[in-house]
Chain A
Amino acid sequence: MQTRATGVSKVTFKAVFLRNRVMLLKIAIHLLAFLPLFVLYFLAFTEQLGADPVEEVIHFTGMGAFNLLLISLLVTPVAKKYRQGYLLQIRRLLGLYSFTYAMFHLLNFLAFEVQFDLALFFDEIIDRPYITVGMAALIILFSLALTSITALRRKMGTKWQKLHNGVYLAVLLIALHFFWSVKSDIVEPMIYFTMAVLLLILRKDKIKRWFKSS
């Protein structure tokens, strides 16, 4: 009797878990993506972020955006390889968090680095290639975030997928942005560039088709 009861409860737990795994994953993503951002600004506002908190918040949000975008691009290959279709449902959330981090990255630059000197802000975007490509990537991410709304997606039909293929361009631009922004230590940017390229290689068939059709 007892064993059967335990067995039943186990099955139930597993079933509940399986039924809610997407929601649980999403909660985990919310926590893992949002908490660091919260802690970062808490430390920055309470002067616990070293001598130059400006550099810290800019770097942290920039790397956060890049990491989240790479993770979001890893989802599809993993889901396909291990036949875990449900994973596809977390891509949007990861992408939106990547965009959020990228927005904070830009706002940090505007508010704390150039301190709302708009002339300097626009000059820098135009004159500095690494900022120009970063801005281009952010504009792509912005258009993807905007069109991630389900209703818009339905309305756009096949155009939607074309637009969202822009993420492949964005990830390369971000890798370049990182590469050009460092003073001398190119090891980390090289690793990131390699990761971005590997994620694109996993999609080589799709990208080939995409080039042929256009």
Chain B
Amino acid sequence: MLINTKKNHRLSEQQVTDESVYHGRRELLKKLGYLGAGSLLAQSASTNAGALDFFSSKEAEVFQRQALKFAPAGESLQILTPEAKISSHNNFYEFGMGKSDPVENAQGFKVNPWQLSISGEVDKPYTLGYDDLFKHFPLEERIYRLRCVEAWSMVIPWVGFGLAELIKKAAPNSRAKYVAFETLYDPEQMPEQKSRFGSVEYPYVEGLRIDEAMNPLTFMSVGLYGKTLPAQNGAPIRLVVPWKYGFKSIKSIVGIKLVEDKPPTTWNILADREYGFYANVNPAVDHPRWSQASERRITTGGLFARNRIATLPFNGYGEEVAHLYKNMDLRKNY
């Protein structure tokens, strides 16, 4: 006779725990730890950082990310870059020049409250607060390749909405020919903005032509890997223009202004021979100091990853955007 006994001990943790809770268990324990420490203020740690620093270690200052509700993207045809790499290899000079500086220096970054104003040549200027960023427009997931001008690339599952939706809501007028973006200027929070030796002028500014901005690919990201953005990736809201070099995708935006004339852009101001206004990914036009013909795709491999791949015109999005530049000499308009 077969005696069927329930073998509870065979169940692994994953089977009995919701996956997101399972993966977040360390965080959960930390949060419980905060309560144990007798401070309900811990959740808004950044606002009370001074008081909390006294009895909690530096580890207490971990930038909090929330799960988002969104329409998921389909299966990716390309291997995604692991979340840990996306959030530890960043060019966000406001938090330091090294690739690992932002993850170290941005943990206490305060994003709530936030104000993003849409203004300029529009009939209905408006401002979005922190919560509005996540509920004013339906969120969707988009898996895009990100090609850095330094010749490395990643594949990132962003969460957000089209920039076109945000602009349409403001009803731009006929003088709106360009869109100018601006990053937060807050030297108290962004140490590099204080630096007397830095060569970058702050706040960081970027710009797009209106037709580039209205292209369906152009995306406002409020999250990645299903959660709100890590601080070092440009929380709480950033631009993603997948056919342009990464520096166009400005982070932690506070201002979007529709303008008549071509706006100044940070890297172009810094070195106009090396970084143009358009900055479309183009394997045929080298950076003056290195080749743009190929790139290293950062995914799961380490030092020995054979990850050098050919760079594609418009980062492989030519079908969607090449028409924006017909009759333009892309060697001159780099």
A interface vs B, CB < 8 Å? Answer: 44-45, 47, 49-55, 57, 112-115, 117, 120, 123-124, 127-130, 180-181, 183-187
Contact = CB atoms under 8 A, between A and B. Distances in A.
26 contacts: A45-B302, A45-B303, A49-B303, A50-B89, A50-B99, A51-B84, A51-B85, A51-B86, A51-B89, A52-B89, A52-B99, A52-B296, A53-B303, A54-B296, A55-B99, A55-B152, A112-B304, A113-B296, A115-B308, A120-B293, A127-B286, A127-B291, A130-B289, A184-B199, A184-B270, A185-B199
A9 B29 CA distance: 59
Nearest to A184: B199
B303 A112 contact: yes
A184 B98 CA distance: 12
Contacts of A57: 303
A184 B197 CA distance: 11
B306 interface: yes
A123 B293 CA distance: 12
Given A45-B303, A183-B150, A184-B270, A50 B291 contact: no
Contacts of B197: 187
A85 B217 CA distance: 69
Contacts of A115: 306-308
B100 interface: yes
Interface in B260-314: 270-271, 286, 289-291, 293-294, 296, 298, 302-304, 306-308
Contact size class for B?
A: 20 to 34
A88 B289 CA distance: 39
A120 B309 CA distance: 12
Identify the interface centre among A45, A52, A123: most chain B CB within 10 Å of its CB.
Answer: A52
A186 B199 contact: yes
Given A114-B308, A115-B308, A53 B200 contact: no
Contacts of B291: 120, 123-124, 127
Contact of A117 (B88, B302, B308): B308
B275 to A, nearest CB: 9
Contacts of B84: 51
Interface string B24-46: 00000000000000000000000
A183 B304 CA distance: 26
Contacts of B85: 50-52
A79 B225 CA distance: 59
A184 B306 contact: no
Contacts of A186: 199
B198 interface: yes
